């Protein structure tokens, strides 16, 4: 009887959906100096054995709570610290029997994998001889007698001259390897790709050396010939899915599609990407709508930011976790269950005017804003309107492709309210429609008697008033005013002519002057 139970134990353990996750731990280094470390992970920066112990505990805490059967890891220094992590996990009761790690010589960090399933074999896929270019780790595990291949990735960052051609290198090596595998063999591509799931719509100018193409979208193939993201319906059509892949970010509502922040903007650097073989009803399949981001309370600060590992004033503080949140999905030996499409199902894309956004806190569907006029632009920010009397709205960090004085149809995928200011955060060009005279969409001094002059997200032009105690006195009105550059703030009592200012909102309505060139002092 005892022997029978022991034989059945593996079947009982895994005869259910299993969980696959990916987690960038943000630089787990050991305390030994070998010369390949990043400069700020040395003793002079308070990277000591005590700090390493705290980091190990924090990483182990997340992995234990995540409780995935397979975990892909990024930013593990070497086999030494990886072995310490395995021991720490075993000590706290959530050990993994099987493990693998890449071995790129001279690299500062490696990628790794923990598994509760037996690892049959693994190897490195070399992308480049340069130690700065990380290897891809290929691992084959056995799930209930069936093979499953996992490709663990950590592509080049977009920072530090991270042009897209550098990520193309990874994509080409990965694609070449996948093309040698039988079409029916199941595999999962996962890790930190440093690429947004919708980067195919617009690649940032400073990293675009590939004509707008990205390694993830156009080489790995998560977009079709029309440059649209592949959908699950494409995966289910076996005559169309050759070379296609599906990014699981599409499983989530628009406002939930993020697990990182890059220069203050929510992003999707980490992916779990699956081929048609995981939708074919044979062997291992993806569990529909099981993808998610792991969001435990301790992974966020009191102010709602990601609780990343703290490094301030050149020293490690021994607090925090990572600048990435883990992502995960479930897979099963049962066939994929597709949704039944209902006739009354809402469309995934709607045409709305700007007023609509003032009634929403998040977006369930993509929104098209037709005939949006760029009235004002400053660096990567802009303000758009459709009519003079209609509402304007601020585009935060998503306007680098737009030009002031032009009209567009825009695709909107993100919205937020920051300190009372309504902003669109993920905006892309659907269609460029021509030039307009933006002057008539701006408000002037004689408009201040109108109601529209005292609502947020308007552009004011040629306003004359007296600056006093952080307010601008215009005729019989008093308006709070904020100068983005404190050094350019005029003296109390100065008479000013404001050439351009935004009527913004930060806990209260206020004029915002972005540049010293946007105003002049008439009298002091």
Q: How confident is the model at residue 108 (pLDDT cuts 50, 70, 90)?
A: very high
Q: Cα(186)–Cα(284) distance, rounded to whole angstroms?
A: 7
Domain range enclosing 458? 442-523
Where a domain ends, among 332, 363, 380?
A: 332
Pick the most confident of 287-296, 452-461, 504-513: 287-296
Whether residues 491 and 368 share a domain: the answer is no
Q: How confident is the model at residue 11 (pLDDT cuts 50, 70, 90)?
A: very low
- Element housing 162 (H / E): none
Whether residues 220 and 152 share a domain: the answer is yes
Average pLDDT over residues 165-178: 97
Instruction: Flag the least confident range among 62-66, 177-181, 265-269.
Output: 265-269
Whether residues 379 and 468 share a domain: the answer is no
pTM: 0.85
pLDDT digits (tens, 9 = 90+) for 273-316: 999 999 999 999 999 999 999 999 999 999 889 999 999 999 99
Total domains present in the chain: 3
The CATH number linked to 427 is 2.40.50.200
pLDDT digits (tens, 9 = 90+) for 109-152: 999 999 999 999 999 999 999 999 999 999 999 999 999 999 99
Whether residues 235 and 372 share a domain: the answer is no
Q: What per-residue confidence (pLDDT) applies to 347? A: 61
Q: How confident is the model at residue 265 (pLDDT cuts 50, 70, 90)?
A: confident
User: Does a structural domain hold residue 339?
Assistant: no
Q: Is the pLDDT of residue 329 over 80?
A: yes
446 three-state secondary structure: helix
Whether residues 422 and 461 share a domain: the answer is no
Q: What per-residue confidence (pLDDT) applies to 12? A: 47
Angle at CA of residue 377, ends 376 and 380, nearest 5°: 155
Whether residues 132 and 266 share a domain: the answer is yes
Q: What per-residue confidence (pLDDT) applies to 214? A: 97
User: Does a structural domain hold residue 454?
Assistant: yes
Average pLDDT over residues 182-188: 94
Q: Which residues of 393-416 are buried (b: 16+ CB within 10 A; e: fewer)?
A: bbbbbbbebbeebbbbebbbbbbe
User: Does a structural domain hold residue 344?
Assistant: no
Q: Cα(66)–Cα(296) distance, rounded to whole angstroms?
A: 9
Whether residues 240 and 377 share a domain: the answer is no
User: Does a structural domain hold residue 153?
Assistant: yes
Whether residues 231 and 246 share a domain: the answer is yes
User: Does a structural domain hold residue 64?
Assistant: yes
């Amino acid at each position: 009887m005892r022997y029978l139970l022991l034989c059945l134990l593996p079947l009982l353990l895994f005869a259910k959906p299993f969980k696959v996750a990916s987690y960038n731990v943000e630089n787990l280094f050991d305390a030994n100096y070998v010369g390949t470390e990043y400069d700020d992970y040395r003793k002079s920066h308070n990277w000591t054995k005590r700090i390493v112990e705290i980091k190990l505990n924090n990483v182990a805490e997340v992995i234990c709570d995540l409780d995935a059967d397979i975990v892909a890891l990024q930013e593990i220094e070497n086999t030494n610290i990886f072995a310490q992590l395995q021991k720490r996990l075993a000590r706290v009761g959530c050990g993994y029997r099987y493990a693998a790690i890449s071995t790129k010589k001279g690299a500062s960090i490696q990628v790794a994998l923990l598994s509760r399933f037996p690892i049959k074999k693994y190897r490195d896929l070399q992308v480049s001889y340069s130690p700065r270019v990380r290897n891809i780790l290929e691992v084959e595990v056995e799930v209930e007698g069936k093979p499953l291949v996992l490709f663990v990735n950590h592509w080049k960052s977009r920072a530090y001259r991270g042009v897209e051609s550098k990520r193309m290198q990874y994509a080409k090596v990965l694609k070449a390897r996948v093309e040698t595998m039988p079409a029916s063999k199941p595999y999962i591509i996962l890790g930190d790709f440093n690429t947004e799931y919708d980067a195919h719509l617009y690649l940032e100018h400073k990293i675009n050396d590939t004509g707008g193409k990205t390694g993830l979208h156009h080489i790995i193939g998560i977009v079709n010939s029309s440059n649209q993201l592949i959908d699950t319906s494409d995966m289910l059509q076996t005559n169309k899915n050759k070379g296609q892949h599906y990014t699981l970010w599409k499983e989530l509502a628009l406002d939930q599609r993020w697990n990182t922040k890059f220069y203050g903007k929510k992003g999707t650097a980490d992916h779990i990407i699956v081929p048609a073989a995981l939708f074919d009803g044979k062997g291992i399949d993806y569990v529909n709508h099981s993808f998610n981001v792991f969001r435990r309370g301790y992974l966020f600060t009191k102010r709602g930011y990601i609780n990343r590992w703290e490094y301030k004033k050149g020293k490690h503080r021994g607090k925090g976790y990572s600048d990435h949140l883990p992502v995960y999905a479930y897979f099963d030996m049962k066939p994929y269950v597709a949704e039944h499409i209902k006739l009354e199902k809402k469309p995934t894309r709607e045409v709305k005017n700007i007023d609509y956004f003032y009634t929403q806190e998040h977006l369930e569907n993509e929104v098209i804003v037709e005939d949006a006029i760029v009235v004002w632009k400053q660096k990567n920010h802009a303000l758009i309107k459709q009519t003079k009397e209609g509402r304007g709205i601020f585009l935060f960090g998503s306007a680098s492709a737009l030009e002031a004085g032009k009209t567009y149809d825009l695709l909107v995928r993100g919205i937020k309210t920051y300190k009372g200011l309504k902003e669109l955060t993920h905006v892309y060009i659907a269609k460029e429609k021509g030039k307009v005279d933006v002057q008539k969409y701006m408000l002037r001094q004689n408009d201040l008697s109108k109601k529209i002059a005292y609502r947020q997200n308007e552009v004011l032009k040629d306003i004359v008033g007296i600056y006093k105690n952080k307010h601008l006195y215009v005729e019989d009105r008093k308006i709070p005013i904020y100068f983005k550059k404190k050094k350019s703030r005029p003296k109390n009592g100065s008479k000013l002519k404001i050439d351009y200012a935004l009527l913004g909102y930060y806990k209260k309505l206020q004029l915002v002057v972005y540049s010293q060139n946007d105003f002049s002092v008439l009298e002091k």
